[in-house]
Amino acid sequence: MGALGAPVQPGPSGTISMAPPSGPPGPEIPGFVCPRRPNQGQEGRPIMLRANHFQINMPRGLIHHYDITIQPDKCPRKVNREIIETMVQAYSKIFGAQKPVFDGRKNLYTRDPLPIGRDKVELEVTLPGEGKDRVFRVAVKWVAQVSLYALEEALEGRSRTIPMDAIQALDVVMRHLPSMTYTPVGRSFFSSPDGYYHPLGGGREVWFGFHQSVRPSQWKMMLNIDVSATAFYKAQPVIEFMCEVLDIRDINEQRKPLTDSQRVKFTKEIKGVSGLKIEITHCGTMRRKYRVCNVTRRPAQMQSFPLQLENGQTVECTVAKYFLDKYKMKLRFPHLPCLQVGQEHKHTYLPLEVCNIVAGQRCIKKLTDMQTSTMIKATARSAPDREREINNLVRKADFNNDPYVQEFGLSICNTMMEVRGRVLPPPKLQYGGRTKQQALPNQGVWDMRGKQFYTGVEIRVWAIACFAPQRTVREDALRNFTQQLQKISNDAGMPIIGQPCFCKYAAGPDQVEPMFRYLKSTFQGLQLVVVVLPGKTPVYAEVKRVGDTILGMATQCVQAKNVNKTSPQTLSNLCLKINVKLGGVNSILVPNIRPKVFNEPVIFLGADVTHPPAGDNKKPSIAAVVGSMDAHPSRYAATVRVQQHRQEIIQELSAMVRELLVQFYKSTRFKPNRIIFYRDGVSEGQFHAVLQHELLAVREACMKLEADYKPGITFIVVQKRHHTRLFCADKKEQIGKSGNIPAGTTVDVGITHPTEFDFYLCSHAGIQGTSRPSHYHVLWDDNHFTADELQCLTYQLCHTYVRCTRSVSIPAPAYYAHLVAFRARYHLVEKEHDSGEGSHQSGNGEDRTPTAMARAVTVHVETNKVMYFA
């Protein structure tokens, strides 16, 4: 039986036609239901694995759910937890010896019903405070019984819907104790560094912790445990924080007040998204905490505020004088600014030297490139090391002795779940040229030695623009680079013939557009501009803006260091990119080994939405959809749109898919019978919303082309951001230095969904750290794929990514969508890049109209014919 959520009639040529729903489903029509797992995959050689999922044994019976309202509200979860803890101890009449669990907000669960019936009970709770006690009113009201039996029914596959209320209750039980002992962040727990120290610079450091979540799987609930790491702000004096941020070696050398640009930079860091918390040190043990709301322009010796005297008069007093008079403190750094803390209108100022950064604050802002690389070095663990660390964690956590876990009758297995996986065979790749060689990937990798592109482009008219200064990249280096590139490109079947028609030095983004306009008008049939860049520079964004969106010219950027010191590997990788940017085809899947979905016209779509970095609250999100344009599939066309900030659903999907279907028809003269849609970047909580909106949008695109055009649609969500890790049970199976599972490892039993069609596939060879297998969840399938067909198809698509000769971690169409959205971010960068951080905000599409931004990401018609994003 296929995976069906609506009545379906087989249409002509065996495709499936769906009765089009009229408009979005109303409340009375249930939405789309995810298909059942059709069967279990059999393809590939078996491999025994361990997954970082630990079985939870649970009793039958009920858990009781109560709603909590705390007045005054707005307290952080940590305080709420203290309030509830105190309440349970104070009111033994109600709670007896029970150990309720609480989620820090509104939900309380107990093993047995409380003796309060269904009425709301109001209790008064007093927390001893610093200085004075704080009194809270807590209202407790019965909400529902949560049935563990219903959960068991679902896990054993007897019922199709998983009771989320039961899963949430178990999650709260498992988190209750760690939430009191650690610093919770999302689904992870961290504790301050003990026995290690990994500074990241800029006042940040690495904290290690663990991720924990409760997941349904076949027959059993699982506890997913993983090690994790994130950046926290170091607990240290604000003066030292400032020195780190501004690269001041010794505070005593900073005799002068901060410059404007120093102050702005420091403000950005300490004010950040919502202001860092600081505590004061000048009042003995009374370490009051405040949130920073600003940094003053004036130094402490000049910043004044209205001070009320004993006699009721108000006088202006400087911060420095106030500290001298009131605390007998002569400031050491009166020339440095103050922190304004608390509410803006209250004008509370503190000199930097009496403030410390409060411990345990996670860094939300994006790390710099340098910090990211330090972070990866500090946190990458080979697979066997990670497995050991996870096992140590579970031993240390000692779940079965957690009194709350015991209270609810749970027991957690302390060894990893063993699962049977399969290693799928890799597809052969067809090359062209004189030798028409085939490549067989080995451990997810192959190479192009002795092979030529399937369709190589001949490059006759090309230019070089060097934006690195002549002293860094000399002319003979450019000459040598050209020779080496020609040699490699010739071997690859993409001959670059003759010398460049133009080779000049330039500096700065302002010269890009005039130079490119000159090149375009002067050299008829110019195919490519090779741009040499001096490291990280605003020139890159400008080259892509001008080349991709304004003039429609193919550009290939290359770093100065790779010009000065050429390596065959780098040059070969450049050729992979250049060939597809000029409309060539690097390689194709050998046709006769492809799954049978290729027997009829099929289009592969990849879709992704990228959001602005954390802490940004203005920039738009960018949605990208790409579609295959041939039968191999190797060539893809791109569509891209800007949309509302942090909007996950692709708003204009219907128009985008329509564009791609029209282009597919123009390229192939076929209308696809099937649409295979790989959707990246959707979290589980959004599966249904995304499916509802986007499946209808794809259908609508088809029907707008022709009323009765109803190709079968398969909608697959690809997830990389999860915490499932797979380890070889047998040491002999481990691959390479990092000891990871082999490329092609697939799992669809044991740790997957009780009834729905999902699987893990690790399609890439892990080089550093522990491989993260991609998770695929089929949300809709008109095409009746078997498990083997869809798993093999997905694995084969991971081998068609043009930028390298290796299998990548997600299917090429999903990867391309990511590249397209990422490129559009560059197209949105406005020309006035002022990198010297002045006090004015340099606009990155923050105040532009949606129309202007839509124009900025629209790619030139010539560029759109090729894979410009490669």
For residue range 458-500, what is the model confidence (pLDDT) as tens digits?
A: 999 999 999 999 999 999 999 999 999 999 999 999 999 999 9
Overall average pLDDT of the 230-239 stretch: 98
Cis peptide bond prior to 72, omega within 30° of 0 = yes
Which amino acid is present at 385? D
User: Cα dihedral sign for 629, 633, 637, 642?
Assistant: positive
pLDDT value at residue 832 = 56
Among 274-278, 620-624, 640-644, name the one with the lowest average pLDDT: 274-278
Overall average pLDDT of the 735-757 stretch: 98
For residue range 29-81, what is the model confidence (pLDDT) as tens digits?
A: 357 899 999 999 999 999 999 999 999 999 999 999 999 999 999 899 999 99
pLDDT value at residue 285 = 82
How far, in Å, CA of 735 to CA of 725, rounded? 15
pLDDT value at residue 18 = 36
pLDDT above 90 (res 7): no
Which H, E and C letters describe 316-375, residue by residue?
A: EEEHHHHHHHHHCCCCCCCCCEEEEECCHHHCEEEEHHHEEECCCCECCCCCCHHHHHHH
How far, in Å, CA of 727 to CA of 83, rounded? 42
3-state helix, strand, coil in the chain (%, to 5): 30, 25, 40
For residue range 309-321, what is the model confidence (pLDDT) as tens digits?
A: 889 999 999 999 9
Mean pLDDT of the chain: 93
pLDDT value at residue 206 = 98
pLDDT value at residue 54 = 98
* DSSP-assigned letters across all residues of 108-121: EEESS--TTTTS-E
pLDDT above 90 (res 207): yes
pLDDT above 50 (res 795): yes
pLDDT above 50 (res 26): no
For residue range 803-860, what is the model confidence (pLDDT) as tens digits?
A: 999 999 999 999 999 999 999 999 999 875 444 333 344 444 456 899 999 999 999 9
Polymer length of the chain: 870
How far, in Å, CA of 404 to CA of 100, rounded? 8
Structure tokens at 232: 């926290």
pLDDT above 60 (res 688): yes
- In 3D space, the residue among 183, 233, 181, 231 whose CA is nearest the CA of residue 207 turns out to be 231
* φ/ψ (deg, to 5) at 648: -80, -35
Give the pairing of strands 107-110 and 134-147: unpaired
Calculate the alpha carbon distances from 393 to 173, 243, 775 in Å: 18, 36, 24
How far, in Å, CA of 751 to CA of 772, rounded? 15
Overall average pLDDT of the 531-554 stretch: 97
Overall average pLDDT of the 411-432 stretch: 98
Overall average pLDDT of the 88-102 stretch: 97
Structure tokens at 477: 């280096």
How far, in Å, CA of 489 to CA of 574, rounded? 9
How far, in Å, CA of 698 to CA of 678, rounded? 12
Token pair 């993983």: residue:
226
Token pair 């066997």: residue:
384
Count CB neighbours of 838 within 10 A: 11
Write out the E strands in 20-78: 45-51, 53-57, 62-71
| pLDDT-derived band at 274, boundaries 50, 70, 90 | confident
How far, in Å, CA of 741 to CA of 738, rounded? 9
Q: Which residues contact 486 (CB under 8 A, 6 or more apart)?
A: 495, 496
pLDDT value at residue 31 = 74
Overall average pLDDT of the 323-349 stretch: 95
CB 659 within 8 A of CB 639: yes
Query: What residues pair up with 504 in beta bridges, in sequence order?
Result: 465
- The burial of 654, by beta-carbon neighbours within 10 Å (0-12 exposed, 13-18 middle, 19 or more buried), is given as buried
What is the share, in percent, of the chain residues with pLDDT greater than 90? 90
pLDDT above 70 (res 616): yes
Round to the nearest angstrom and report the end-to-end CA distance of the chain. 40
Q: Name the DSSP letter for residue 807.
A: -
More confident residue, 193 or 2: 193
- In 3D space, the residue among 587, 572, 626, 677 whose CA is nearest the CA of residue 823 turns out to be 626
pLDDT value at residue 392 = 96
Report the b/e string of 418-441 with b at 16+ CB within 10 A. Answer: ebebbbbebbbbbbbbeeebebeb
Overall average pLDDT of the 551-555 stretch: 98
CA torsion, ordered 128, 281, 234, 393, to nearest 10 deg: -30
How far, in Å, CA of 834 to CA of 509, rounded? 11
Rounded to a whole number of angstroms, the CA Rg of the chain reads 31
pLDDT value at residue 554 = 98
- In 3D space, the residue among 619, 606, 677, 675 whose CA is nearest the CA of residue 647 turns out to be 619
Q: Which residues contact 739 (CB under 8 A, 6 or more apart)?
A: 382, 383, 384, 728
| pLDDT-derived band at 778, boundaries 50, 70, 90 | very high
Cis peptide bond prior to 128, omega within 30° of 0 = no
